[in-house]
Amino acid sequence: MKVFSEPFSLVVNQQATDTGLVQHPRCSDLLSRSGKMKNRKSGDKTLLTAEQLPRIEFEPSVVKFHGQKVLATVRGSIRGSVGFWNSQNEEFSIIHSRRTVGINESFWTTLEFAQPAPSEKCNVRTVSIPFIFLPDGSDVPIHTSSDILVQYSDDLDVVCDASGAPTVTARSTSVMCNCGDGARVKCRRRYRSATACGSAWSRIADDTVSLEVLTGFLLMVFECHDVSVHFDELKEVLLCVASIESDCPIGRRRSKRQEYQNDYPVGLVNHLSALDSRLGVTLNKVMPVLNALDVQTIRISSLFIDFIDRLQKVFPPEILEDTDRDSIDLFLTSIADDSDGGNFVSSEEEIKLDGKVERLVNVWNATVKAWKSGRINGLTDDEGGVPYADVKQLVVASDRLKTIARQNVAPNPFAMLHDYMATMLQTKENQQSECARATVQIDDENVEEGTQMRIRAFFENKHNTTLTNIGVTMNFVREDPNTPNVDFNVGPSWSAGIASLSGLGTLPASESFEIHWTRFVSTPRRLTRIAKFQPIIILAFAVDGRQNQQKLFAPQITVHPKRSVRVLNIIKDDLSPKIEDVEDFSVLTAVLNPGYSPIDNLRVNFDGLKIENFEESFEVESTSIDGKRLDSPTLSPQLNQLPSGGTKMIKTRIKSGQAMSRVSRVNLTCSSDGRLLPLEAVDTYAIRAVAPSHNGMLLASPSQSRPLFFFRPSGGTMTNIIQLDYLSTQNSTSNTVFAAFRNPESTGFSGALWASMPMPKIPKNQKLVEIMDRRGQRPRTLQPVTWVSEDEMGTQRLNWIDYGASLPAQVLTYELIFGDPETFDSGPLFDQSQYRVQIPPDFSLSIGTLVGQISAEGENLEYSLFSPDNERRFTVDPENGQIFFDFDDLPLESDEYCLILEARDSQGKTSRVPVAVNNGGFCGGALFSGGGARF
C-alpha cells in the first residue's frame, strides 16, 4: 500500500550524488503533475488525471549553474509518445538529443545558463522542462512539464520556483542497511590525501608567532595548492567523518517499563553518551558502528577542521586566484630577508610580479608594516593586514596537531590523518545497500515565536525484504549553547501506512508510510534574537536480524522574535496650542517597532477616523512619512521596512472645505506582507506644547491640561515629564542668567525636566545659545529642546526640556547664556539624547568589526568611548565616531553593554550621550528605545 496524502513541493537529497542535491523520484512525480493540462474535453478518452500523466526523471536531478548534460528518462503507466522542443531565453537554453521518445525510454538533455543567480534570496532555482504527451489512439496532445533544479552556489539555503519566488523544500535521505558503512562510503568517495604536501609542517616552528612562522603557513598553502590539495575539499571530508557519530547513533537496551504508546518524538540520540530511551526497539548493548579508533579519528577530524578554519581566515582561498607557479616563486623570493625590501615587497619587486598576486602583496605588506611598527592588534578590513591574534590562534591549532602526530609516531599531521582515515573508512562490500528512502519537509523553516509549524516525513522501503522493529523519534537541538530556550510543544500529530512507531512497526518491501507532526513554538521569555534549532529525526529498524539506526536530514529551523507594533496617535483638542506647527496636520501617528525583528513591507491602514469638524464631506489632502510627502494622499500608507527599535512618523492632513479637520479617535491595523501584526499598544494623546520643527512635544490625555509625557519624534522616545516650579532669577552678567527651580516630585521619580520661566530681558540681537546644569563639581552642558510661549497674561515665557538629567535633586540651578547664534560656539551637538546600536542576529564579530556609527554636529570633533567597568570591548574611531568591536573573547558574556560616547571640539567643549550596544538583550529599558545609530 502506497500512502502519501499531501505532495511535497521539492525534495533535496544530501547524500546521493556528486552535486549533493537530488530531487526525490516521488517529488519529480508530483512536480510533473503540477503542469497545466490543456485540450481536455469531457468524454474524451484522453481525459487523464494528474497521476496518469508521464513524468521525466533526471539523473542527476540537480545541475550546477555552469550547465551540464543530464540523462532524462520518461516514466509513466499509459503508453504513448512524448514530444520535446528546444527552449532558449535570456536565462538558459535547453537542447534535447531526441525530439520524440516513448514511455520508459531515455535521452540526453543539455542545459546551459547565462544569468549568475535567480535572485538575492535563492541559490537553487527550479527550471520547468515542457513536453507534449500523445496517448496511443488519441489525436489530442496534452501539454505538461517536469522540473529540474539548478544550483547556483554550494550552500543549500533557499530553493526558488520557476518564477523566482522561494518555495518550501524537503530533504531526502538514503537510509543504508548498515548506517556506519554507508556513511563511510560517502566520505571515502570524497577523500583525497594531503600527504603530498606534508613536508611543509617542518618549516613551522612550535609555539612561536612571527613573520617567519607566517611565511611557513603561506608555504604550506602554496605547496598544497601546487599538488592539487584543496583545503575546502579536505574540510568537507573531515566534516563528513566527524558527522558519522551523529548520523549513525548507538542505542542500548530499553527499560522493560518503557512506555510503548508514544509514537511521537521525545528523545534524542546524537552522541555516544546521550542515548535515547524511547526508541521502542530492543538493541544490542553496543552496536558495531564505531570503535575506539574511530572515535579518535572523529576527534582528530574536529581538530583539523579548526586548523583549516583558522588557516583560511589568515590566508583566504581567494588570494590564490589567477596565480601560477612562477608568480608564487617570485613572490617568495621578494619577501626573503636578503631581498631588496627585506620582508617588505618593494615597488620594484611589485612591478616584476605584474599584478598576478596583487591582493596577496597588499595583505603581506600591510601585515609587515603593522607588525614591525608594534601595532599587532586592531587592524581593520580597510587596512588589509593579518591580525596578530589570528596568527596566534592558528599557531595554537597547529601545535595541537603536531603534538598528537608525535604521540602517534607520525612524520607530520597530514600523514597521521591519512593513517587514521585509511582505517576509519574501511567497509565490507556487502553492507552498502540502501534499505529505505526518507523525505522530511517543514512547511516553513522560518517561524515566529507564538506560532505553530508542521513537519512531514515520508518513508519508502527500498529493500527486497520486510523492515521490522520500526521506530521514529524527533527532538530539537540548539545550534549552540548560547541559543535561547525555545519549547516545541506537541500539537495534533498522526501517521498513516504503519501500525506503530514505537518499535513494533513493520514495513513490507516497496511499501511506504508517512508521519505528520505539529509543534507549537513558545518561549519561557520573549526572544531578543533569532534562535536556530536542528530537528533530529532518528529512524530505527531491523533488517535481516540486524538492528540499525540513522539520523535523517532535515532543514534547520530559525525561530524569530515575535513581531509587534506600538502606535502613538497625536491629535489636537481645545486645549492644544494654536500655533502653526500644530495646525498643519490633523493627526500625527508614530509607528514604533518595540520588538527585536525587523518588519518588512509594513502597511498601516486607517480603518476608522472620527472627524470632529467637517461639513458634508472631507478629503485627505496629503500624507507624509518622516517628513517626505507621498505623491498620492492615502489612508493606507506603505512604510516598507521598520527596523528593530525604529520609528516612522505619519502626518495626515484632512480638510473639510478650506478648514483643517480635527481627528478625535483613530482606529487602525498594521500588516506585513498581507499578514496582520499584533498591536502591543495603541495610545492617543493630545498636544500641550510643541518645539519648533517638531523637535519635541508635551503630551497629555485628551481633555486633560497637565502634560504627562515628553515625546521626541526623531528618536521615537517618550518619557515621563516633570514640570519644575520656577523659584527665582539672578543676572550674573549682561548675557548670563542663573535660574533656580524646585522639583515637586520625589527624587526617586525620574523623567525629562520641563522648565518654564519669564523671558529675561536681553538685547534684541541675542538669543539663548547654551544652558548648563551647575550641580556638582563638573558642569553639564544641556542639549535641550527650547521654545517660547505666552501665558494667559500675554507674558512671554522661555521653556526648555532637560531630557538628559540624572537623579534630579530637590532644587536645580541652570546657567543660561545668551549671545549671537552666528558667532557663538555651542560645542558638539548630538541629535538624540541616547542611542542604541543593535548588533544584527548572526552578525560575525571579530576584532576590528564595525558595529555602528554615531556622529555629532560640529567641526574638528574628536570622539572618545568610555565604559562603566573600564573593560575594553568596543573602541571608537576618534575622527568619525565609528564604533568597532575590540574583544577577542567570544561569545560576548552579556546581552547589552552601556557605554558613554564623548565628542570634543577644538575649543575643548564636550558633549556626552549614553550608548547601549545590544547583542540580543535589553538592559536599558525605555531609555534606549528608538535606535539612531547607522550601520
pLDDT digits (tens, 9 = 90+) for 787-818: 888 887 888 899 998 877 766 678 888 999 88
Q: Which residues contact 50 (CB under 8 A, 6 or more apart)?
A: 33, 34, 37
The sheet with strand 599-611 has its strands ordered as 638-642, 599-611, 663-672, 675-676
Q: Within 13 Å of residue 337, how many CA atoms lie on the same side as its CB? A: 2
Q: Which residue has the higher pLDDT, 182 or 20?
A: 182
Query: Residue 178 in contact with residue 432, Cβ under 8 Å?
Result: yes
Beta pairing partners, 720: 709
Averaged pLDDT for residues 76-91: 80
Task: Give residue 505's identity as a one-letter amino acid code.
Answer: G
Averaged pLDDT for residues 318-326: 74
Greatest mean pLDDT among 368-372, 433-437, 870-874 lies in: 433-437
Q: Within 13 Å of residue 894, how many CA atoms lie on the same side as its CB? A: 13
Average pLDDT of the chain to the nearest whole number: 78
State yes or no: pLDDT of 267 exceeds 60.
no
Beta pairing partners, 671: 603, 676
Q: Name the 3-class secondary structure at 202.
A: helix
Q: Within 13 Å of residue 369, how many CA atoms lie on the same side as its CB? A: 12
Query: Residue 677 in contact with residue 567, Cβ under 8 Å?
Result: no
Confidence of residue 889 (pLDDT cuts 50, 70, 90): low
pLDDT of res. 276: 38
Q: What is the CA radius of gyration of the chain?
A: 35
Confidence of residue 264 (pLDDT cuts 50, 70, 90): very low
Percent of the chain with pLDDT strictly greater than 90: 21
Averaged pLDDT for residues 690-697: 74
Q: Which of 20-24, 338-342, 730-734, 877-881 has the lowest mean pLDDT?
A: 20-24
Averaged pLDDT for residues 17-34: 36
pLDDT digits (tens, 9 = 90+) for 332-383: 888 887 777 778 888 787 777 777 778 888 888 888 888 877 665 545 445 5
Query: Residue 513 in contact with residue 466, Cβ under 8 Å?
Result: no
CATH of 170-178+250-287+433-562, one of 2.60.40.1120, 3.90.1150.10, 3.40.50.150, 2.60.40.3880: 2.60.40.3880
Query: Residue 358 in contact with residue 365, Cβ under 8 Å?
Result: no
State yes or no: pLDDT of 266 exceeds 70.
no
Second-level CATH architecture of 565-705: Sandwich (2.60)
Kindly state the greatest CA–CA separation across the chain: 110
- Rounded to whole angstroms, the Cα distance separating 153 from 118 reads 11
State yes or no: pLDDT of 489 exceeds 90.
yes
Q: Is the dihedral of CA 400, 401, 407, 409 positive or negative?
A: negative
Task: Give residue 72's identity as a one-letter amino acid code.
Answer: A
Confidence of residue 401 (pLDDT cuts 50, 70, 90): very high
- Rounded to whole angstroms, the Cα distance separating 268 from 260 reads 17
pLDDT of res. 655: 85
Q: Which residues contact 138 (CB under 8 A, 6 or more apart)?
A: 44, 45, 46, 80
Per CATH, 170-178+250-287+433-562 and 565-705 having the same topology is answered yes
Averaged pLDDT for residues 38-65: 65
The strand pair at 697-700 and 679-690 is best described as antiparallel
State yes or no: pLDDT of 670 exceeds 90.
yes
State yes or no: pLDDT of 3 exceeds 90.
no
Give, in order, the Cα–Cα distances in Å from 59 to each of 24, 109, 467, 480, 649: 11, 10, 28, 37, 55
Q: Which residues contact 264 (CB under 8 A, 6 or more apart)?
A: 474, 490, 493, 501, 517
Q: Which residues contact 430 (CB under 8 A, 6 or more apart)?
A: none
Averaged pLDDT for residues 17-21: 36
Q: Which residue has the higher pLDDT, 287 or 487?
A: 487
Query: Residue 863 in contact with residue 835, Cβ under 8 Å?
Result: no
pLDDT of res. 935: 24
CATH of 11-167, one of 2.70.98, 1.20.1070, 2.60.40, 2.40.50: 2.60.40
Q: Which residues contact 329 (CB under 8 A, 6 or more apart)?
A: none
Show the cell assigned to 38: 490543456
Single pTM value for the model: 0.66
pLDDT of res. 750: 77
Averaged pLDDT for residues 303-326: 84
CATH of 835-928, one of 2.60.40.60, 3.40.50.300, 3.40.50.720, 2.60.40.10: 2.60.40.60
User: Would you kindly state where each structural domain of the chain is located, as residue ranges?
Assistant: 11-167, 170-178+250-287+433-562, 192-248+290-424, 565-705, 724-819, 835-928
CA angle 336, 342, 343 (to 5 degrees): 65
Q: Is 804 exposed, middle or buried (0-12, 13-18, 19+ CB in 10 A)?
A: buried
State yes or no: pLDDT of 216 exceeds 80.
yes
pLDDT of res. 289: 46
**Could you count the other beta carbons within 10 Å of the beta carbon of residue 517?**
23
CA angle 786, 792, 793 (to 5 degrees): 100
pLDDT of res. 823: 67
